Amino acid sequence: MTKDFLVQQIREKKSYLCVGLDTDLTLIPKHLQHLPNAIVTFNKAIIDATKDYCVSYKINTAFYESLGIKGWEAMEETLHYIPNTHFKIADAKRGDIGNTSLRYAKTFFETLPFDAVTVAPYMGEDSIRPFLEYENKFTIVLGLTSNKGANDFELLKTGDTFLYEKVLSTVATWGTPNNLMFVAGATQASEFKNIRSIIPDYFMLIPGVGFQGGSLSEVSKNAMNKEVGILVNASRAIIYAGSNDLYAEDAKLIAMEYQTEMSSYLV
């Protein structure tokens, strides 16, 4: 998917919502848990219920990899069920020496046809370069994350700058807004204006709204650029909105609430 097409979808739907399919077999409705293909059944219902209100889906691969081959099969079936109009993210947080990253890139851009994959930048450019070589695919680099551990390294000073600032400014020179995005956690809203000053033209994937306490209003006010430039992820708040037979309908209502609020911030 190209950046222009993603922006078009955002404008048409008046939404920059990304629904996280971090599906935990123990948390889905109990009446589904005994089914042989429970995760896929659940995911398909969530996708059907929310696709009109979001522009993206993010699959956290850990929830599928932990189940072995059945989990990988469920991830693949889920991925192929997502409409091609929606931006498909593998939240895999990969990053290794070049020849290993080459295989990771092949995994998530060819074997599994995702549009984007999250990567960790710690090992430097050669660990990210193989992902950037793919046309119309996006590498989403961890910038300033929403977890408490962000204080351990990302918010350490290196000279006069924070480490995350160095990551953003350096990695931005390795690609373009057409193949690079950055993760910025919604709980770090106080830093968004500064982040925008460093990467004014790049999309941000913003987790942390919902259960982690991030404010959609603050994110939207401080992180948007002229092309909107943000994808706000909500996972548990949407997919686990209900626990009975009406779980998909409940998810739809929450996704609709997000989309309605987002539409009010778009001009």
Total Cβ atoms within 10 A of residue 77: 14
Condensed to tens digits (0 to 9), the pLDDT of residues 248-264 reads 999 999 999 999 999 99
pLDDT of residue 215: 85
| Token output for 94 | 């990969």
**Surface-to-core class of residue 120, CB atoms within 10 Å of its CB (0-12 exposed, 13-18 middle, 19+ buried):** middle
% of residues, the chain, pLDDT over 90? 84
pLDDT of residue 53: 98
pLDDT the model gives residue 243 = 84
**pLDDT value at position 163?**
92
Q: What 3 state SS string does the chain have?
A: CCHHHHHHHHHHHCCCEEEECCCCCCCCCHHHHCCCCHHHHHHHHHHHHHCCCCCEEEEECHHHHCCCHHHHHHHHHHHHHCCCCCEEEEEEEECCCHHHHHHHHHHHHHHCCCCEEEECCCCCHHHHHHHHCCCCCEEEEEEECCCHHHHCCCCCEECCEEHHHHHHHHHCCCCCCCCEEEEECHHHHHHHHHHHHHCCCCEEEECCECCCCECHHHHHHHHCECCECEEEEECHHHHCCCCCCCHHHHHHHHHHHHHHHHHHHCC
Mean pLDDT of 189-214: 87
Model confidence over 94-125: pLDDT tens digits?
A: 989 989 999 999 999 999 999 999 999 999 99
Question: pLDDT tens digits, residue range 51-74?
Answer: 999 999 999 999 999 999 999 999
List pLDDT tens digits, range 200-209. 999 999 998 8
pLDDT of residue 211: 66
Q: Which domains does the chain have, with CATH numbers?
A: 3-265 (3.20.20.70)
Across the range 29-51, mean pLDDT stands at 96
What residues act catalytically? 93
User: Distances from the Cα of 23 to the Cαs of 48, 82, 206, in angstroms?
Assistant: 15, 15, 19
- At residue 91, the pLDDT reads 97
